[in-house]
């Protein structure tokens, strides 16, 4: 019989530097999993058959729980048989092809409309960094003043500046911040409202508050639309992750290859990048029309 130590599991999640929201979700799943009595393929399948556990977060929980059990085998006094059973256990593969929700990109006018609704300079700067840097919400809220590579500006005042961020699993990566946006960053630091230090959090607004504010801005600006039943259309809701989608989409339209886009967004898999760069029919038609114009010009020169 396997007994989970919830307090020890919470400490393990804290060491993983997960967001408070993710920790809360994982702890909820841990309390549910306790009733399974063991960690093996059978108990995992039984757990995931519960409709309330049929989501990506629950599957990620299984992975992190396995790591926790193996890492703390001595503290949990696991037998050799239990340890072997846990090591061999895996979440079952999802069969069939799950339809991915269509990413409806924002237009330039819609981006400006949402941006203009935001009340404070801090919210506006968070919006711009999230969008232009392709940042995850966790990466955005974890920025410190020391995260910016200021020496790049010292060497070249017009440089694109690297921003060191910590993403999933506390993995480090660089985001690339354009020069015009770095000027806004410096103006924000010089403003009377900025109270940060080199190693304190750059933004005082929490991730939950930022997400709520841009969702509200999406509604107030009319970018987020309702269907015939009066419910908000999921694909039109503005949220932090949609801004990442937007950057990937725009880079794809510009003709950048998937490896380049994946590097900008901090992806480890090209398959992930493909989901972020869905193109609509009208976008494909636009690219082909531009291509045909160039071909026509070449043909006219040859015939001239």
Question: Which tens digit of pLDDT belongs to each residue from 244-266?
Answer: 888 888 888 888 888 888 888 88
Average pLDDT over residues 210-223: 95
The residue that leads in pLDDT, 129 or 43, is: 129
pLDDT of amino acid 275: 66
pLDDT 10s digits, 71-129: 988 888 888 888 888 888 887 765 554 555 556 788 889 999 999 999 999 999 999 99
Q: Percentages helix, strand, coil for the chain, rounded to the nearest 5? A: 60, 5, 35
CA 40/CA 59 separation, integer angstroms? 14
CA 139/CA 30 separation, integer angstroms? 26
| Closest of 269, 218, 274, 268 to residue 248, by C-alpha | 274
Tell me the β-bridge partners of 175. Answer: 163
Which residue ranges make up each domain of the chain?
Answer: 6-88, 108-276
Q: What are phi and psi of 184, to 5 degrees?
A: -70, -35
Instruction: Among 164-178, 216-230, 232-246, 274-288, name the one with the lowest average pLDDT.
Output: 274-288
CA 165/CA 20 separation, integer angstroms? 18
**pTM of the predicted model, to two decimals?**
0.63
Fold for 108-276, please state it: hpI Integrase; Chain A (1.10.443)
What Å distances lie between residue 61 and 33, 220, 277, CA to CA?
Answer: 10, 35, 27
Average pLDDT over residues 178-198: 92
């Amino acid at each position: 019989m396997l007994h989970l130590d919830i307090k020890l599991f919470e400490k393990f999640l804290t060491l993983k530097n997960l967001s408070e929201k993710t920790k809360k979700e994982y702890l909820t799943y841990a309390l549910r999993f306790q009733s399974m009595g063991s960690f093996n393929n059978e108990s995992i399948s039984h757990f995931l058959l519960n409709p309330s556990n049929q989501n990506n977060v629950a599957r990620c929980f299984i992975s992190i729980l396995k790591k926790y059990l193996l890492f703390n085998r001595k503290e949990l006094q696991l037998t050799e048989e239990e340890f072997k059973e846990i090591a061999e256990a895996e979440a079952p593969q999802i069969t069939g092809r799950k339809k991915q929700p269509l990413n409806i990109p924002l237009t330039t006018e819609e981006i400006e409309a949402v941006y203009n609704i935001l009340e404070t300079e801090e919210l506006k700067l968070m919006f711009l960094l999230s969008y232009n840097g392709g940042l995850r919400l966790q990466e955005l809220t974890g920025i410190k003043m020391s995260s910016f590579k200021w020496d790049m500006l010292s060497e070249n005042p017009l440089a694109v500046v690297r921003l060191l961020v910590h993403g999933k699993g506390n993995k480090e990566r660089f985001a690339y911040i354009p020069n015009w946006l770095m000027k806004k960053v410096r103006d924000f630091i010089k403003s009377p409202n900025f109270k940060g230090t080199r190693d304190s959090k750059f933004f005082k607004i929490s991730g939950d508050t930022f997400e709520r504010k841009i969702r509200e801005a999406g509604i107030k600006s009319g970018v987020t639309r309702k269907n015939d039943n009066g419910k908000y259309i999921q694909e039109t809701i503005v949220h932090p992750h949609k801004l990442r989608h937007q950057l990937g989409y725009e880079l794809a339209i510009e003709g950048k290859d998937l490896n380049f886009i994946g590097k900008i967004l901090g992806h480890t898999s090209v398959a992930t990048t493909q989901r972020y760069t869905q193109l609509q029919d009208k976008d494909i038609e636009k690219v082909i029309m531009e291509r045909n114009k160039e071909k026509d010009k070449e043909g006219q020169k040859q015939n001239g």
